[in-house]
Structure 1
Amino acid sequence: MYHIVVALPMLLAMVEGPDRLPAYMLLYYIVFLSRCVPALPMLLAIVEGPDRHPADEGSQEVLRGKLCLLEADSAEVNALFTELSARLVTINSEENVIFVAFKTFEEIWKFTTYYTMGFLGQCMENLLLDQDFWLSSMDQKNVGIEISIQEDTLNLMYKGILMQEGNSLTLYSFLKCCYGSQGNMDAHQQAELKRKIEEILQEGKEKVPCATVMTNGTLEDHSESSKTTLPSGPHFTVHPVEEGTTTNQEKLLPFLSFLGGSDYKPDFGTLYGQTPELLLATFNGHSDDIDELVAYLGIARETARKKRLHWSQSRLCLLLGKLCAGSSKFSQARVYFEEALSIPREGFTDMLMLANIYVNLAGIYLMQQNTEKYFALSERIAALLMGIPDCVSTVEKDSEVLKFILKKAVLAHNKMAEARACFLLAKLHWRRGEGADAVPFLERLLVLSAEPAGVQSVRPSHGYLSLGRLYSQLSLPHLCVSSARRATMHPSARLADCLNGMGLVLENTARLYGIRKQEDTIPAQVALYLSRSLSFTGELAGVGGNGDHTLSQALTLCLSQLFQKHGKLGRAVRSMHTLIDNHCASSSSSGATSSPERISALVWLAWLHICDSQPEVSLDVLDSVLASMPEHCTTPQEGLVHNMRGVALRCMGDLRRAAESYQAAIYVANWAVAQGNLGLLCLKAGAKGLAERHLTEAVELFSELGGEEHEVNFITVLLELGQHCVNQRLLERGKIYFEWALLMAIKSNHLDSQLSATRRLCHLYGAVCSDEAQCIIYKEHQLAILATRGDRGQEGEVLETISQLYLSLGTERCVRSALDYTKRSLGIFIDLGRKEKEAYAWLQAGKIYQMLGQTELVDLYVQVAQDVGLSTGDTHFILQLLEAAGDVFFNLNQEREKAVCFYRDRALPIAVRTSSTEARLRLSNKLVELLLQLKLYGEAVEFAQAALDISVTLGNRLNERVAFHRLATLYHCLGQFELAEHYYLKTLSLCPTPLEFDEETLYYVRVYQTLGDIIFYDLKDPYDAAGYYHLALAAAMDLGNKKSQLQLCTRLATIYHNFLVDRELSLFFYQKARAFASDLNHLLAAFPSLCGPTHPKPSQLG
């Protein structure tokens, strides 16, 4: 992985120093290269271990799958990179690369800073990895996402953006303020500056006890300390005095005495920090005229000068200078400030006064454009600020001096001075409440402190925590959580840092995950903070007795519940055992065995054992808790224990004892939960009436309760009672309970309960009382819930179901809606890489286009489905898909011959190769049917014979009979009448006897009539034909089918009259035919609607 070391000093080195480039070469270099770097590639990889080696290929494949999802829906990743001051260009999931671009120098500078601080990888983990990752990573140390960026590419983008913005020219104007000796310092000057700064720092430590130098402090510490050194100051009275009189000296003596002394006093800080307006309010007895106050202080100054009260004179000059500057009398103010500096003194220990004089005088020099004196004085201010952090209050209204210090430190490559300047600027903006302005300086300070031999002006864990708070205020949730994580995991972290970091994560959960995870009020990331916090209390390592027991129990319970929520039951049980062994054991030895905290911990442990399929262990725990309670105890905790015992016993299958425990819980507390559990137990035991009574009582009790903590149990009872009603065919009641449960779940915003209720309603309207429209409504709601949860796999499947429901409605509008839902599911399956689902979705879309009559698109969608199916390499699936593709064309009214290719040339060879007998039989039957309709009788015989052979092998009599019938039909069409007669007779021989259904008798009628037609018309054998017609007539008479009897009697009358010359039989069948014709005429006259293309009109009969 590359490490980025590109910063402002490197850019300055291109135009400064012995190796600087000529200006025209620099411009050419920037312009040429900036056009070649449109985007920056970020290579992502899952790494593990202390050496951060790439993880196994399976982990990398998971990462690719996540990136593939972001390719289709990039809203979240766009929001993240906007937060990181970058712009998403594209995502290449195959290569695990994300391309980003920048438009301004500020954007690329911020992005580089985040990368250097290690925030990029952590932000991508928050975006890409599931919640379970955070729990799994607790076992696997140093597992996460690592970002690799090419340093050369980033450097070129730096230069290109500088050229586009014109900052390469602005750079020189920046250097003007540091020109000459400030800008080009040789090694001797740098060493001398460093020596002077160190001397000043040392002097400040020795001489100024009130302004301690904190090299490992906090922003809040300084802010609070400065506030404590500026209490509400004293107030003075202005007396009318005359210059040069003795009375004047006596009246001014207390004031001058207050201002005397070389040491700093807290009251002086108030005077130094006041504006001219506040100074006016400090002095009473004047007419709010600043000139009157200036005159009074001028007399006091002159008196102090004559009495050689040097410290009083200096402080009066400072006050006079501030008042004059407030009246825009800058020249007079400059005279006072310079006088304050020129007064001879044996030493200068009031550093805050000196800093105030310097800052005010520097401001006047800058206003009067006296740059030489301004820079000279700025050096002194810089030394003071670098040595004494509390002096930063003197530049609170103007941070230019601190920025000047920062520029000099950058140019001198002095990382210690740069870190100090960044700390002071961050502290200054923090004091002002300018969080956004403090962020870049605090970021740079943390970057410098992380470098080898970096100077820590602030404790890193506290610095990251402060930065996280600022990010939270600026609505940058990913950066906030990353900062909190760095703060918690840093070696300098303390317990308070871990707890505060956890607070930041919880505050930003909603913004970090949005609506998609709205139910996860406690994200899995919190496990890291809980575990780290427990390590400080000594509980995680099994060291007990020294930490805060209450805090440890709360942290352990939260951690255990988090493990349980995400299915890590073993870890949840171990954490609770650690808590009980370390803390509850001491309580037990002191006799407090039944404390509420211990009981709560043991009951939760028992529940975990039940969830972990260990009801016996849970029962032992609960029995021990019950035994430790006083006799005849009727507290709610006893009811809770009895209820839990009932749950454990029910899991063990001991329904009788479970019912006793539930009844005991009801007797103690009459809990709705116990009533509900007893109702569910009765359902399991088959006592439906008793179950309904207890469940109804539970519903009544739940309805009277307030608060959200009972809503999930209430919803569960409603769903079970509703299902019971549905099973009893009380559909309306069941529907009411289901809808009630759904409304409760929507009100409580509990997505799992909403999903359960919606699924019950979908099943009710889909399978129990069919109502496609209602089913679609609830499926749509289910779809919205799944989209909110981010469960795209189930979302795609629900889209498939909704598409089928719309197809079942049959209207053109519904068919088009089905197409839309199919395409949406197709997009999801493509994103998820679920090839089988994707192939069927392509096929379904083609089928719907066929229903809409857009046959030109059917070929395209079927071909894509085939290509996707072949890419899976699953032979069984490919066989099923090819058969389904053939079915699409088989069901077309036109171009049905295209199905032959799929059945015969593609699917059937695979079925033969894989010895899939059932598939061969299906395909052979479909080919026979299709070829028969296409009148390709010769080709169809082969597949009909194959179907017959397979049916015989399988012993499937029905398929065997169908195969014989089709062979007979084919040979009939081919003119091979003897074979046709043979196979028809084989078909009839396989029919069941005796006949059970009218359809079977009708089949006999048609087959015997067909045989008679073959013998009579094709083989010209009227005698045998008459035999088959007699058999057909017998079956028709048994069926009572007069139409068939009419046809058969007519045929027999004709044969006996013309061929067999039996006039008696001929007359008999003729009269029978006349009777059937008369009956049919009367019937059709009564029901004329029956006269259609398949029914002759009455006039046509007889």
Structure 2
Amino acid sequence: MYHIVVESPMLLAMVEGPDRLPAYMLLYHIVFLSRCVPALPMLLAIVEGPDRHPADEGSQEVLRGKLCLLEADSAEVNALFTELSARLVTINSEENVIFVAFKTFEEIWKFTTYYTMGFLGQCMENLLLDQDFWLSSMDQKNVGIEISIQEDTLNLMYKGILMQEGNSLTLNSFLKCCYGSQGNMDAHQQAELKRKIEEILQEKKEKVPCATGMTNGSLEDHSVSSKTTLPSGPHFTVHPVEEGTITNQEKLLPLLSFLGGSDYKPDFGTLYGQTPELLLATFNGHSDDIDELVAYLGIARETARKKRLHWSQSRLCLLLGKLCAGSSKFSQARVYFEEALSIPRDGFTDMLMLANIYVNLAVIYLMQKNTEKYFALSERIAALLMGIPDCASTVEKDSEVLKFILKKAVLAHNKMAEARACFLLAKLHWRRGEGADAVPFLERLLVLSAEPAGVRSIRPSHGYLSLGRLYSQLSLPHLCVSSARRATMHPSARLADCLNGMGLVLENTTRLYGIRKQEDTIPAQVALYLSRSLSFTGELAGVGGNGDHTLSQALTLCLSQLFQKHGKLGRAVRSMHTLIDNHCGPSSSSGATNSPERISALVWLAWLHICDSQPEVSLDVLDSVLASMPEHCTTPQEGLVHNMRGVALRCTGDLRRAAESYQAAIYVCEEFEDRSSFTRHLTEAVELFSELGGEEHEVNFITVLLELGQHCVNQRFLERGKIYFEWALLMAIKSNHLDSQLSATRRLCHLYGAVCSDEAQCIIYNEHQLAILATRGDRGQEGEVLETISQLYLSLGTERARRSALDYTKRSLGIFIDLGRKEKEAYAWLQAGKIYQMLGQTELVDLYVQVAQDVGLSTGDTHFILQLLEAVGDVFFNLNQEREKAVCFYRDRALPIAVRTSSTEARLRLSNKLVELLLQLKLYGEAVEYAQAALDISVTLGNRLNERVAFHRLATLYHCLGQFELAEHYYLKTLSLCPTPLEFDEETLYYVRVYQTLGDIIFYDLKDPYDAAGYYHLALAAAMDLGNKKSQLQLCTRLATIYHNFLVDRELSLFFYQKARAFASDLNVRRINLSPDQNFSSMSQYKST
């Protein structure tokens, strides 16, 4: 039957009046009225003061404007009411009313709970009020939005939905409600202020003790995600015993002695909580068979019974019952549990054992559908759980007993028992990591504790904070922030609650405001938490003397920065003055007057005065900071103060002193290698110099521009660096300062020549540098710049550029002759001959080369002569004709000098050049000697790359000479030196070519098709790895030929022939010839060159 509580005046008249209706008519009216009330009106109003009176009409008009905006775009308010388990119907902005509806009992239950807890108004404040409201409300206490709901309408909707859904949910529906899956907050970019606040939270996490409940502890005895782990308990050895023997008692004595005694021991708790599997691990010496352990414990139980060891017998019965239940022998387990209860004892002081017996026995009664004994035993379990907190751990696996207790408490209208049951259920689900299941019980617990005669099963601020954490896990940001606010503002709040509540707000900022206010990294309502935390630090200072000054300063700085961010400069300044006067002043015992904390606070105060258009006050603060610093001990903070002075002086219009302050800041940054501050100071100095008039500052301005440009280039901001260099050059040209022009031009030459290559621009600036040097009369540097310009023109590659390069080379040659610089002169002669060779005037090449050789020999420097002769050989080596002249310079002139001077690197270089040159001239026999010499030198130097090149050249030379066995040997030596695994495609291609060459040597020259097929297979594997279809076509054709004509394997022949046809089709090759060409030689590749 339905149990209806009638609270509506109209319904009371129907029940108690003279014209009272029958029960069925009353039920009809309730259902009818509930269906006639499709929506619940919520009246919103701005209230203020401790009595929560309506605010002035202007405030109410602002609220109406906000609601009007929501009428046009209701996406945000829809999301809010979805979170509040309600459905938005409409918004009436003129009447300040929002209409909501519900479809299920669960929705209206949750909504009513949030309304009772005071969350509705706070959620609407988060949605409707601007950020400035939170800062303004700090001065006006108890200002906010109040929600008014018609109780009669809510009751009608409540009862109507209850009638529709049935009486199965009337008393206990909130036990089964859940909010959905847990969510994870997306990471977003944190601002500097947020980083500071999070640092405070991290620092205080270890300092502030964790909040605990007033009576029964906190929910967070264990973390949500942690598993309950049992400590390592006692261990026993199972000995083979026989019932009735004398030795039986001696072997069982340790176990019986341990289990004896009426008092509880911690090891008993470990034993009681173990599963059958863990009990097996506790007892050693058996074969992991439960039946064997049961038999052993059964003998121990019988021995304890005979010796009247009642406590040992009781505990052994408990263990035997758990083991039998684990083996699904429930009837036998019930017998053991009932025996444990029936054993006579003087008293029962081990309540945890009693609770374990009750719970395990109740589960068996429930499984065997013995409801009468189950309910009788549940009453006893309830008494234990309600009176002894430690017994709650016995029902961690099954919460039905606690739910039964809760049902009885609700039916009996026992608020104290209901609160206790809700606390135990919330804690149980919290410890099991079931946050969604813990929420309704925790909500109900907080509702009960807020009633006039509420029971304090948990400290309210701690309860709201725990609830906020669960809301955050369930992606309910509005409810999370509301819970955090209630936790912080509750009279029972502590410093840790305020800091943790602030952390919850910061975690949910993005989800709370979304993209709409993403630029506000720190919401203004954080100011409430900062202010509340500061009030606790003030209490600490008043009680304990100094208090936590570091925390107080950090919180005040964050609060001041928040005020400054939202334009409340006056309040930001006042908060900093309060901090400095109380904690950083000369009379403070927190440290010296020039401590880093005090300096940071004063610098921030100075910046606030600058932002508040008070640069003179800022200068006074900064000058006092500088005066307090030691004279001969520079610190990075001194650079910060100088930079801030430059900003203040610039605001006053004193640009000269501002530039001097910036320069001082730059010196400090250079001393401490503070590159980021260095860049900032340079940029500010450039801005100041650009505003200064007169010529006396131009040299310093150019220096600053060059330094800033070089820093930009080093940071790879090339375009910006180029602009600063060019700006410096223009300033130097304007002031006609040659040294500055030369410095700027050289920076630009280096930029376009080495950093971002641009030959045309580099030529332009080098020619300008040449003009400057000519004006200064620096002939030596002028000749070097002419050489550089000549090389730049040669890199352009056109005939016109080469002729220009020849002209600049001849000009540099004249300068070097005049200066008597023989080495430079020799290279200039050689460079001119090389350019003539490029221009095709070969008849002049020998002349210039001969003069260069004569000038080089006249220096008498052996190492220079060696380098010059090698360079002369390179000139002829690069000619298309008369390349044999290079052999004379390499072999007959340079190499003997290298041998005589023991220049190993030069010998290796010359030997390699001779081998390559003689190979191209087809003088294979002569090349072998130098190839062997190059190999010996490479081995001596340990140069693996040169060693590999030498082996390859030796293999090629022996191949050309027809010594195929030696060629195969050196090719294999070359491959053995290749790196593994292969890193580049070029290395794989080398494998393809060498293995194919080896196959050709073995097949065509040594006539061994079997070994040749092996090399071809290796080459094909490398070609397939490379994806080279042309090489795969050649190799498949050769393998098909070998298997068809020599190895006579028709299957493999057909396989490779089909693959060759596929590659030929892709490469548009029309014909594949499988006939062996016995006249083909692997040396033909060298004959064609």
Partner of 1:785: 772
* Cα separation, partners in 2 of 1:303 and 1:817, compared to 1, 3 Å: farther
Contact preservation (8 Å) 1:938, 1:974? yes
Give the Cα–Cα distance (whole angstroms) in 1 for the partners of residues 946 and 108 of structure 2. Answer: 73
Give the SS at the match of 1:45: strand
Give the Cα–Cα distance (whole angstroms) in 2 for the partners of residues 1009 and 254 of structure 1. Answer: 82
Give the Cα–Cα distance (whole angstroms) in 2 for the partners of residues 903 and 25 of structure 1. Answer: 123
CA RMSD in angstroms, aligned pairs only: 32.7
- After superposition, what is the alpha-carbon deviation per residue over 1:488-545, rounded to whole angstroms, capped at 9, x for unaligned? 1111111111111111111111111111222222211111111111111117999994
* Pairing of 1:35-50 with structure 2 (within 5 A): 35-50=35-50
Give the SS at the match of 2:44: strand
Give the Cα–Cα distance (whole angstroms) in 1 for the partners of residues 817 and 90 of structure 2. Answer: 18
**Residues 376-385 or 907-916, more deviating:** 907-916
Contact preservation (8 Å) 2:15, 2:21? yes
Contact preservation (8 Å) 2:224, 2:433? no
* Cα separation, partners in 2 of 1:155 and 1:709, compared to 1, 3 Å: farther
Displacement after TM superposition at 1:236 (Å): 1.5
**Residues 548-557 or 638-647, more deviating:** 638-647
- After superposition, what is the alpha-carbon deviation per residue over 1:82-115, rounded to whole angstroms, capped at 9, x for unaligned? 1111111111111111111111111110111011
Contact preservation (8 Å) 1:535, 1:541? no
Contact preservation (8 Å) 2:194, 2:522? no
* Cα separation, partners in 2 of 1:380 and 1:801, compared to 1, 3 Å: farther
* Cα separation, partners in 2 of 1:9 and 1:747, compared to 1, 3 Å: farther
Give the Cα–Cα distance (whole angstroms) in 1 for the partners of residues 979 and 760 of structure 2. Answer: 43
Give the SS at the match of 1:663: helix
* Cα separation, partners in 2 of 1:712 and 1:540, compared to 1, 3 Å: farther
Displacement after TM superposition at 1:650 (Å): 2.3
Give the Cα–Cα distance (whole angstroms) in 1 for the partners of residues 312 and 966 of structure 2. Answer: 135
Give the Cα–Cα distance (whole angstroms) in 2 for the partners of residues 237 and 1038 of structure 1. Answer: 63
Displacement after TM superposition at 1:353 (Å): 0.6
Contact preservation (8 Å) 1:846, 1:862? yes
Partner of 1:934: 921
Displacement after TM superposition at 1:215 (Å): 1.9
- After superposition, what is the alpha-carbon deviation per residue over 1:91-143, rounded to whole angstroms, capped at 9, x for unaligned? 11111111111111111101110110001100111111111111100000000
- After superposition, what is the alpha-carbon deviation per residue over 1:545-583, rounded to whole angstroms, capped at 9, x for unaligned? 431111111111001101111111111111111111111
- After superposition, what is the alpha-carbon deviation per residue over 1:211-268, rounded to whole angstroms, capped at 9, x for unaligned? 9996252112478999999422122111111011111111111001111111111111
- After superposition, what is the alpha-carbon deviation per residue over 1:46-86, rounded to whole angstroms, capped at 9, x for unaligned? 10000000001111111111111111111111111111111
Alignment size in residue pairs: 1074
Contact preservation (8 Å) 1:273, 1:394? yes
Displacement after TM superposition at 1:666 (Å): 2.5
* Cα separation, partners in 2 of 1:1010 and 1:426, compared to 1, 3 Å: closer
- After superposition, what is the alpha-carbon deviation per residue over 1:623-656, rounded to whole angstroms, capped at 9, x for unaligned? 0000011114432211111111122222223333
Partner of 2:950: 963
Contact preservation (8 Å) 1:290, 1:323? yes
Partner of 2:873: 886
Give the Cα–Cα distance (whole angstroms) in 2 for the partners of residues 148 and 824 of structure 1. Answer: 97
**Residues 111-120 or 24-33, more deviating:** 24-33
Displacement after TM superposition at 1:587 (Å): 7.1
Displacement after TM superposition at 1:991 (Å): 99
Give the Cα–Cα distance (whole angstroms) in 1 for the partners of residues 1040 and 274 of structure 2. Answer: 132
**Residues 615-624 or 838-847, more deviating:** 838-847
Displacement after TM superposition at 1:147 (Å): 0.5
* Cα separation, partners in 2 of 1:322 and 1:884, compared to 1, 3 Å: farther
* Cα separation, partners in 2 of 1:938 and 1:1046, compared to 1, 3 Å: same
Give the Cα–Cα distance (whole angstroms) in 2 for the partners of residues 268 and 51 of structure 1. Answer: 56
What are the ranges of 5 or more consecutive residues in structure 1 without an aligned counterpart? 669-687, 1082-1089
Q: Establish whether residue 697 from structure 1 lines up as the match of residue 673 from structure 2.
A: no
- Identity among equivalent positions (%) equals 96
**Residues 800-809 or 560-569, more deviating:** 800-809
Partner of 2:308: 308
Contact preservation (8 Å) 1:213, 1:389? no
Partner of 2:743: 756
**Residues 1066-1075 or 604-613, more deviating:** 1066-1075
Give the SS at the match of 2:227: helix
* Cα separation, partners in 2 of 1:297 and 1:985, compared to 1, 3 Å: closer
Displacement after TM superposition at 1:343 (Å): 0.8
**Residues 250-259 or 698-707, more deviating:** 698-707
Give the Cα–Cα distance (whole angstroms) in 2 for the partners of residues 26 and 1071 of structure 1. Answer: 93
**Residues 130-139 or 167-176, more deviating:** 167-176
TM-score, normalising length: structure 1: 0.57
Give the Cα–Cα distance (whole angstroms) in 2 for the partners of residues 179 and 168 of structure 1. Answer: 20
Give the Cα–Cα distance (whole angstroms) in 2 for the partners of residues 926 and 900 of structure 1. Answer: 9
- After superposition, what is the alpha-carbon deviation per residue over 1:797-828, rounded to whole angstroms, capped at 9, x for unaligned? 99999999999999999999999999999999
**Residues 132-141 or 857-866, more deviating:** 857-866
Give the SS at the match of 1:47: strand
Higher relative contact order (CA 8 A, sep 6+): 2
**Residues 219-228 or 1050-1059, more deviating:** 1050-1059
Contact preservation (8 Å) 1:223, 1:427? no
Contact preservation (8 Å) 2:175, 2:440? no
Give the SS at the match of 2:588: helix
* Cα separation, partners in 2 of 1:1041 and 1:533, compared to 1, 3 Å: closer
* Cα separation, partners in 2 of 1:716 and 1:427, compared to 1, 3 Å: farther
Give the Cα–Cα distance (whole angstroms) in 2 for the partners of residues 53 and 875 of structure 1. Answer: 105
Give the Cα–Cα distance (whole angstroms) in 2 for the partners of residues 892 and 1039 of structure 1. Answer: 36
Give the Cα–Cα distance (whole angstroms) in 1 for the partners of residues 118 and 490 of structure 2. Answer: 12
**Residues 738-747 or 320-329, more deviating:** 738-747
Displacement after TM superposition at 1:314 (Å): 0.6
Give the Cα–Cα distance (whole angstroms) in 2 for the partners of residues 207 and 831 of structure 1. Answer: 81
Displacement after TM superposition at 1:337 (Å): 0.8
Give the Cα–Cα distance (whole angstroms) in 2 for the partners of residues 448 and 30 of structure 1. Answer: 28
Give the SS at the match of 1:606: helix
**Residues 738-747 or 291-300, more deviating:** 738-747
Displacement after TM superposition at 1:345 (Å): 0.8
- After superposition, what is the alpha-carbon deviation per residue over 1:452-477, rounded to whole angstroms, capped at 9, x for unaligned? 02101001110111111111111111
Contact preservation (8 Å) 2:395, 2:401? yes
**Residues 100-109 or 768-777, more deviating:** 768-777
* Cα separation, partners in 2 of 1:560 and 1:477, compared to 1, 3 Å: same
* Cα separation, partners in 2 of 1:342 and 1:984, compared to 1, 3 Å: closer
* Cα separation, partners in 2 of 1:999 and 1:556, compared to 1, 3 Å: closer
Contact preservation (8 Å) 1:72, 1:831? no
Partner of 1:500: 500
Give the Cα–Cα distance (whole angstroms) in 2 for the partners of residues 230 and 807 of structure 1. Answer: 82
* Cα separation, partners in 2 of 1:250 and 1:900, compared to 1, 3 Å: closer
**Residues 718-727 or 331-340, more deviating:** 718-727
Give the Cα–Cα distance (whole angstroms) in 1 for the partners of residues 84 and 899 of structure 2. Answer: 58
- After superposition, what is the alpha-carbon deviation per residue over 1:1072-1092, rounded to whole angstroms, capped at 9, x for unaligned? 9999999999xxxxxxxx999
**Residues 948-957 or 715-724, more deviating:** 948-957
Contact preservation (8 Å) 2:549, 2:590? no
Contact preservation (8 Å) 2:499, 2:533? yes
- After superposition, what is the alpha-carbon deviation per residue over 1:436-464, rounded to whole angstroms, capped at 9, x for unaligned? 00000000000000000210100111011
Give the SS at the match of 2:91: strand
- After superposition, what is the alpha-carbon deviation per residue over 1:910-961, rounded to whole angstroms, capped at 9, x for unaligned? 9999999999999999999999999999999999999999999999999999
* Cα separation, partners in 2 of 1:541 and 1:1069, compared to 1, 3 Å: closer
Give the Cα–Cα distance (whole angstroms) in 2 for the partners of residues 911 and 97 of structure 1. Answer: 101
Give the Cα–Cα distance (whole angstroms) in 2 for the partners of residues 202 and 166 of structure 1. Answer: 50
Contact preservation (8 Å) 2:6, 2:12? no
* Pairing of 1:426-437 with structure 2 (within 5 A): 426-437=426-437
**Residues 641-650 or 128-137, more deviating:** 641-650
- After superposition, what is the alpha-carbon deviation per residue over 1:661-690, rounded to whole angstroms, capped at 9, x for unaligned? 22222232xxxxxxxxxxxxxxxxxxx999
* Cα separation, partners in 2 of 1:301 and 1:849, compared to 1, 3 Å: farther
Displacement after TM superposition at 1:209 (Å): 23
* Among candidates 738, 754, 766, match of residue 767 of structure 1: 754
Partner of 1:94: 94
Contact preservation (8 Å) 1:534, 1:540? no
Give the Cα–Cα distance (whole angstroms) in 1 for the partners of residues 1008 and 34 of structure 2. Answer: 98
Partner of 1:1098: 1083
Give the Cα–Cα distance (whole angstroms) in 2 for the partners of residues 464 and 790 of structure 1. Answer: 85
Give the Cα–Cα distance (whole angstroms) in 1 for the partners of residues 1059 and 473 of structure 2. Answer: 100
Partner of 2:362: 362
**Residues 514-523 or 485-494, more deviating:** 514-523
**Residues 217-226 or 470-479, more deviating:** 217-226
**Residues 708-717 or 247-256, more deviating:** 708-717
